[in-house]
Amino acid sequence: MNTTPPRLRLGIPKGRLQETTQKLFVRAGYDLRISGRSYYPDIDDPEIECILIRPQEMSRYVGQGIIDCAITGLDWILENGIDVAEIADLRAPWPNYGTVRWVMASKDDSPFHTVKDLEGRRIATEAVGMTRRFLAQHGVQANVEFSWGATEVKPPILADAIVDVSETGASLRANNLKIMHVVLESTPRFIACHDSLKDSWKREKLECVLMLLKGAIAAATRVLLSMNLPREKVQAVLKLLPALATPTIATLADPDWVDLSTVVEEKKVRELIPRLYAAGARGIIELPLNKIVE
């Protein structure tokens, strides 16, 4: 009889997304440790087995059922054209977890201004499939070549134009490139194998993992404000709080005072605290949040 306990095989993206993904899991409550010598990260959950894979390959292994679920970019899901279940968009206000753009670019002084100008020309890119689909959408035939890296330095000698990923545009500007088109906007996605979702244990487990990850992302830009205030000042303070805030009000030992706590966006706290104090709030405390599960 097979007594091996069930495990969820989870793909962790190697490379650009790796460090932020590790921090995300830590904020979600997992002790995820990635060694430079191993492609099997340690995690303090015996029901999860992690494997470190480049995002470019992740959807292929998930689609084949070798990995149950994983984090990878929308760009590589579309590039590979693999049928996987996209469970959640995990964009977050952290490095490499926001929106990145795949752009078509050429030299500032080149005669190429739109995709139509690239008929019969050479385009270098790591995303060959994506680029070919974009060209087909515009009725353009061009020679699309796979680029092994340093794509931005290839125009004008090795290529007439490129399709490359850009987060800030700094690399393009440094190489005197102009953006002709935005080919795709991509964000990190949580994906799963369709067959894994049919397994009730695996589905429940991955949903629990995803709940904690999304809770950590939801808390990334918010803090908890707690304060004491006279009961007659409650309405005045409530008017100062953001419309989406849902404060909790509790009576203190002194019946004329209450404790009020609420979750607000961290960027609003600097202006909010002086106004709360002027309205009668005292003992104002700002606390960081690890997770918000809504």
Percent of the chain with pLDDT over 90: 88
pLDDT for 143 beyond 70: yes
Q: Which of 130, 154, 123, 27 is nearest to 73 (CA)?
A: 130
Alpha-carbon torsion, ordered 147, 150, 153, 154, to 10 deg: -10
Q: Do residues 217 and 190 touch, judged by C-beta distance below 8 A?
A: no
Q: Which of 143, 131, 71 is nearest to 102 (CA)?
A: 131
Q: Give the pLDDT confidence score for residue 167 in this predicted structure.
A: 76
| Residues 155-201 pLDDT 10s | 999 999 999 998 777 889 999 999 999 999 999 999 999 999 999 99
For 50-72, what is the mean pLDDT? 97
- Cβ neighbors of 174 (< 8 A, separation 6 or more) are 152
How much of the chain exceeds pLDDT 70, in percent?
98
pLDDT of residue 122: 97
Q: Greater confidence, 294 or 136?
A: 136
In the predicted model, is pLDDT for residue 1 greater than 70? no
pLDDT at residue 4 greater than cutoff 90? no
CA torsion through residues 45, 48, 53, 56, sign: negative
The torsion angle over the Cα atoms of residues 171, 113, 125 and 163, rounded to 10 degrees, is: 60
Quote the pLDDT of residue 2. Answer: 55
Q: How far apart are CA 21 and CA 14, in angstroms?
A: 9
Rounded Cα distance between 155 and 145, Å, is 13
Q: For residue 244, what pLDDT is reported?
A: 62
Q: Report the distance separating Cα 243 and Cα 46, nearest Å.
A: 42
Characterize the bridge pairing of strands 8-13 and 48-53: parallel
| Cis omega (within 30 of 0) for bond into 156 | yes
| Contact by Cβ (8 Å): 82, 63 | yes
The count of other CB atoms within 10 Å of the CB of residue 239 is: 9
Strand, helix or coil for residue 290: coil
Q: Is the pTM of this model over 0.75?
A: yes
Query: What pLDDT, in 10s, does the model give residues 213-272?
Result: 999 999 999 999 999 999 999 999 999 998 666 899 999 999 999 999 999 999 999 999
What DSSP line would sit under 198-251, residue for residue? HSHHHHHHHHHHHHHHHHHHHTTTEEEEEEEEEGGGHHHHHHHS-TT---EEEE
